[in-house]
Each structure stands twice: as C-alpha cells, then as structure tokens.
Structure 1
Amino acid sequence: MYEIAIVGAGASGLMLASQLKKHNICLIETNEKIGQKIKVSGGAKCNITNNLVSCDNYLGDKKFVKEVLKNFTNEDLLTFLNKNGVNPKINPKLIKGTYFCKTSAEVIDMFTRLTTHVKKYMNTKVIDVNYVDEVFTIITNKNQIKTKKLVIASGGLSYTTLGASSIGFDIASKFGHNINTLNPALVGFTVQKEQFWFKNLSGLSIMAKVKVENKSFYGSLLFAHKGCSGPIILNSSLYWKKGKMSFDFLPDKKIKKLLIGNALISSRLPLPKRFVQEFLTSIELEDKPCNKLNEQEIKKLEIIHNYEFSPAGNFGYTKAEVTKGGICTDEIDVKSMQSLKQKDLYFLGECLDVTGELGGYNFQFAFSSAISCARNI
C-alpha cells in the first residue's frame, strides 16, 4: 500500500511528486512517458509562467485563485527552476510577459531527475476508485493499487491524443463534488456565413485588438480554414459565452487620416492587400481611389475599427489547449487542495474550475496548486 498515489504525470502531478521525497508514493499515467502535455506546450518550448501573473488572468473564483498563487508565486517558480538547471527567458515577440524554456524536454528531464524516488505506473488507465476502511482502491486496466491518500492531477478533456479523459471529473462526481459546465478553451472560433471571408484568408495573420465581454486583447489574429485563431482568439475563447465580440483591425491608427490622395484603398491601408480586398468585399465596397470616397463610404470603412461578429462555435477539444469549467472550488480547501467532501482526496490543476489565459498562466496555477498540496499533505 502507498501513502500517496497521484493520478496524472503532468505539470501538477510531477511538481507534487518532486516535493514528497520522504513518502512512499506512486504516479499513475496513461501515456508511455511523463510530461507529454509539457512536451507540446509553447511550440515545444514550454511557456512555463508569466511575469504579469495575477488572479485577473484567470476565469474562476478570484479569491481562491489569489490564495493558491500566493502560496507559490511566479518568482518562487523561477527560483525553483533556476536551482534545478532550467533558466526560462521572456520572449517579448510572442505573448506579453511569457517565460519560455529552451526546450520542453529540459523541464521533463528536470522532473525525471526529481522523481526517481517515485514508483511510476506508465501506460496505465484509471477506470474507477473505491474507498473502504480509510483506504482508496484504484482500479486500473492492469491492476489494483491501494493508497491512503489520493491526488487527482489528471487534467481536463483537451488533448485526447495525449490520453486526456474525464476520469478526474468522474472521480470527483463519485465522491459528491459538483462539476461546473465543461467547455473547450484557448481554442479557435468557427464562423457564421457572414464571416466566411475569413476562410479565404487562411494562413494570414495580422496584429489586431479584440473585445469580448469586459476583456480586451491585443496581438496576433490568425485566419484559418475553419474561421479564426491566434493568441487573441485563444484568449477570447476563455471569456466568450454567446453573442457578439468585436475586432479593431487597425488599432492605434485612424482610418480617416489614411484615406488621402488618388491611391486605391488597398494601397493606403497598412494591412496585407489580400485582407483589405476581402474586407472591402464583405462590406460591399469597391476598392477605389481614396479621393473618390464619399462621406457614407468613409463611415462604412470605419467598421474596420469595430467589426462585430458572433462566433458560430469553436474548434472543439481536439484543438483546445485547456478545458474551462471543472470541479467547483467552493468544495476544495484552498490551503491544502483537499476535498471538503472526502478526507484524503485532493484535486490539482486543470481539473478544478480555474482556467488561465494563454501565456504560462495555467502552468503557474498547476505548480502553485501542487505546492499548496505538498506543504499540507
């Protein structure tokens, strides 16, 4: 029998295991190797945290998030990484404030070194969990594992190719937890008929500003064959519910000041000509010399600063980086990550109803929740 069993060898599970050197502990993982989601993150360079971390970068209960982050800050994480030979750097060309590692492999190698004391059950799928006489019995596709304490760090429903499943939510439900509505997040949007012109621009990216709910993001917008993606869209998907959002395709510029002389509109706007021509077609305006535009046409062109649309939906879990929604945090002890409904049962990271924006925020929460658990377990 183990003292502690951890389901999931991702960021939170590995961080927790690395902190529990003096315990009889095991890790149960569906993949052949540990850290498979770490491996693909940040374009295989692992966007591990952010210089600007605060509870405002998360969807979820702000007080809960703030308390967890306080236990292990971004500075604490960087100190831990540096001490263990990993030295991430901010890459200002990508997402503001985001720390990237040289490669994701160095993070996985670090956790491999730090978890040599842990018994690892790889290629092992958890099917069910029972609790009798203060002992958890974990039923897997290979065997049964008994443990006094059980930690669920199995992530969400995103990345099914990397073994993602609903097991964390299933176990939480079995022990009486409420699961807030699950949805793909940090994911691209599909579009309605009025925005099919986006598809004609597939592969093109521009810098833009987007407003969604009470949030706004500035950065790269990527047009895709299904609709739109890119960092600002992935972040928007976290907050979008139903209804409209809007783009400013020419942030920090005034279109009126650009429409001068006898050059064509598509020549005067500092945007790819392909984009301008598709945009003009979408608003039913000819690409004509600027000095031939009347007031009504100029007003029509000003839509470029506030182009409203309602997404049809999103690209789904296979393309989503994370899952939003999850185990209700009202039912979790913020100091220890222990269930308030079942003694010795803990939940970490993405399976909780806390989802961060793009840019290292989800890794930071995963690590912070793991440290909170380790200090109290």
Structure 2
Amino acid sequence: MNQIVIIGGGASALMLAALLPPKSATLIEANTKTGAKIQVSGGGKCNITNQVMDAAYYLGEEYFVQPVLDMFDEKMLLKWLEERGLTPVLRKGTQYFCPNASKEILSIFQKESSKQNILLGEKVISVTKKGQIFEVKTDKRVLKAEKVVVASGGLSYPQLKASDIGYRIAEAFGHHIVKTSPALVGFTLQPGEFFFKELSGASTEVKVTVGENVIEGSLLFAHKGISGPAVLNASLYWEKGTIEIDFLGDVDWETLRRSEKNISSLLPMPKRVTKRFLLQLGLQDKQGKKVTSSELERLKSLCHYSFAPAGTFGYSKAEVTKGGVSTDEVNAYTMMSEKEEGLYFIGEVLDVTGRLGGYNFQWAFSTAYVCHQHLING
C-alpha cells in the first residue's frame, strides 16, 4: 500500500516529492527521467519566478489563484532554493533565472525527490477507487494508494510524452474540463498577412490588444507567422477572431510632418519592416514633410493594425496548455478535489495559466506547497 501516489514528474510533482516526508510517496513518470520540461524551459535557462507576483498575471479565477500564491510566494520559493545552494539571478527587469542553466534547479529537485519511490518510463492508464483505496493502473502494474495527486501537466511538448491522462482522471471522477488549447505560442496567418513572413527574423516593439487585454513587448516575425513575448502572452487570451497591434506607439506626428528625414528613419521599427509596411500601404518612402494628410492617415493605421490570426503554431511549439481541470471543483486551500476525498490536482493540469516571466513555474511550486501542507497536516 502506498500512502501517496504522484502522477507526473514535472515541476509541480518534483516540488511535492521534495517537500513530503521521506518514503511517503511514489512518483510515476512516463519519461525515462524526471523534469524533462524544466530542462528545456527558456532555452535551457529556466525562468523560475518573478519579482512581481499577482493573480493579474494569470488566466484563471482570481479567487482561486491569489490564495495559492499568498500561501507560497516568490520570496518563499527563493528562500527554499537558496537554502539548497541555488541563488537565482534577476534578469529582464523582474524575472528570476537560474544563474547558468536549468540543470541547476533540476539537480536540486532530483536530489530532494530521490527520497521517494520513483517509477520512470511508466505510463499511467487509469485511476479508480474502491472503498477508501485508489487503484492506479500503469502499463506495468497496479498501485494501491490512500491519496492520489495528479501533477501530469498539459498537452504542450508532445515530444516529451505530454498526455491528457490528468484530464481523463479528472473526468472519471466527475470533474469538468475547461476546453484546452495551446498557449504562450505564436500565431499563424491568413493570406492577407502572408507578407509578414518576408520579414522573418525581424523584431519590433508593439502593443497587442486581445479583447480587453493589452500586452506590451516585442513581436518577432517568423517563417510560420508571428511570435515573440508580446504575441505569446496575447495567445493566452485569444480564442478566435481579430487582434489589434500597435506597431508605432507614441509617434509625434507633428514632428514627423516637419522632418527632412524619410519615413523609414522616423518610425520606431527596423527600416526593413517599415519599408515593407509602406509597400503594403501603397506609400513611398519619402521625407516626412512631403507626406500628405491622406498618406498620414494610412500611416496611422499601423497604430491599430487589425487582423484575425489563422490559428497558432500548435502544442509542439506551445510553452503551456490553457484550460484544464475547472478550479470551481478544487479547493484552493488544499488542492483537493471537491468531488473525491483524497484526490488532488496541482500545476498545469488545472485551469490556470500564467504569462511569460516565471509565472507558470511559480504556480507549479505554489500548488505543490499548498497540497503538501494538507497532505501532512490533514
């Protein structure tokens, strides 16, 4: 009999295994090693958390998200890591990274979690319950447990054996799954914006508006469409329909109209990008002082360039999965199911998704901490 079975071997699962008393849990991971997604995060640099931590940076119910973050915030996480010899460094303003590489934090988790029973290369097939005992069926055995924690993540990175097992377990116990889709991912384009592909490799600062959400940051033109931090964050809020991009920001139009310089030197975009947009708008690259009123209006359209993406780059390119187990049916103060005693959900499997900047790792660690508190204190 296992006291606790943890399904998954990613950030939330490893944090929970690290926090629990020795030999109190069995962790099951489909890959041949734990923490595969941690290792590739941020190109191997691993953005752990953020100095500015608030429910506003998450797509999810604030009443659920904020208490979880409050119970284990970024300061508590940093202290926990520092006690184990890792001092994250501040980069890009407010983001905490591993000093050198993601393997630094991964080695801590692998060491701390090794006190538990770890089953690698084993795929969970189903979870059922008979009386007070859960039965976790894998492709190799059946494990009995008093408590089960689903920490199986989402559908992103299918190449790392991401699966829908967490959602299937939740549904089997009567939980509602909020529709899942790729998030923190680039957009593909309709024919009207195919000219963007000609700008592949160029980057420019923008404001992207999706519904009521406005995201500032850089946009990267790519072979398949558009990417970059502003676009990836915008994908959190996009379902279908149009988005609006402000490519120009606060241009002083009066100064532009008096300038001897050409338009391509006056707009806050790389010249290559500006010239392609001018071509698209049917405008010549001429001195600002020679721009007519009607031409100026066409230029100003770049402040509210509206179009509908064709879709996204998909799960293979998505950092995370949005949607998941409805938080209306999970207790924010314990992470336990409101439908089944002893069944818990933590991390990305829940219907909570953070923006870029360390928010999703913090969510994984915070939910693991809250869950562990309930598991050991009841």
| TM class by smaller structure | over 0.9
Q: Confirm or deny that 1:210 pairs with 2:205.
A: no
Q: Secondary structure at the match of 2:235?
A: helix
Structure 1 contact 127–141 (Cα < 8 Å) conserved: yes
**2:356 aligned to 346, 352, 358, which one?**
358
Alignment of 1:127-142 (within 5 A): 127-142=125-140
The alpha-carbon deviation at position 133 of structure 1 amounts to 2.7
- TM norm structure 2: 0.96
**Residue deviations 1:118-155 (CA, integer Å, cap 9, x gap):** 11110111111221132212111122222111100000
Q: 2: CA distance between counterparts of 1:116 and 1:290? A: 66
Structure 2 contact 23–117 (Cα < 8 Å) conserved: no
Q: Which residue of 2 aligns with 1:7?
A: 7
The alpha-carbon deviation at position 303 of structure 1 amounts to 1.5
Q: Which residue of 1 aligns with 2:150?
A: 152
Q: Which residue of 2 aligns with 1:318?
A: 316
Which runs of 5 or more residues in structure 1 are unaligned?
Answer: none
The alpha-carbon deviation at position 251 of structure 1 amounts to 2.0
**2:300 aligned to 295, 299, 302, which one?**
302
**Residue deviations 1:273-295 (CA, integer Å, cap 9, x gap):** 21011111222222233333211
Alignment of 1:36-55 (within 5 A): 36-55=36-55
Which runs of 5 or more residues in structure 2 are unaligned?
Answer: none
Q: 2: CA distance between counterparts of 1:218 and 1:376? A: 39
Q: 2: CA distance between counterparts of 1:352 and 1:218? A: 26
Q: Confirm or deny that 1:84 pairs with 2:84.
A: yes
Structure 2 contact 256–289 (Cα < 8 Å) conserved: no
Q: 2: CA distance between counterparts of 1:148 and 1:270? A: 60
**2:280 aligned to 264, 282, 286, which one?**
282
Q: Confirm or deny that 1:98 pairs with 2:98.
A: no
Q: Secondary structure at the match of 1:78?
A: helix
Q: Which residue of 1 aligns with 2:64?
A: 64
**1:267 aligned to 259, 265, 268, which one?**
265
Q: Which residue of 2 aligns with 1:18?
A: 18
Q: Secondary structure at the match of 1:251?
A: coil
The alpha-carbon deviation at position 99 of structure 1 amounts to 0.8
- TM norm structure 1: 0.96
Could you tell me which amino acid in structure 1 is paired with residue 264 of structure 2?
A: S
Q: 1:162 to 1:255 in 2, by over 3 A?
A: farther
Q: 2: CA distance between counterparts of 1:110 and 1:50? A: 19
What is the CA RMSD across the aligned residues, in angstroms?
Answer: 1.4
Q: 2: CA distance between counterparts of 1:358 and 1:237? A: 11
Structure 1 contact 259–265 (Cα < 8 Å) conserved: no
The alpha-carbon deviation at position 258 of structure 1 amounts to 2.8
Q: Confirm or deny that 1:336 pairs with 2:320.
A: no
Q: 1:174 to 1:302 in 2, by over 3 A?
A: same
Q: Secondary structure at the match of 1:299?
A: helix
Q: Confirm or deny that 1:372 pairs with 2:370.
A: yes
**Matched positions, count:** 374
Structure 2 contact 22–116 (Cα < 8 Å) conserved: no
Alignment of 1:248-259 (within 5 A): 248-259=246-257
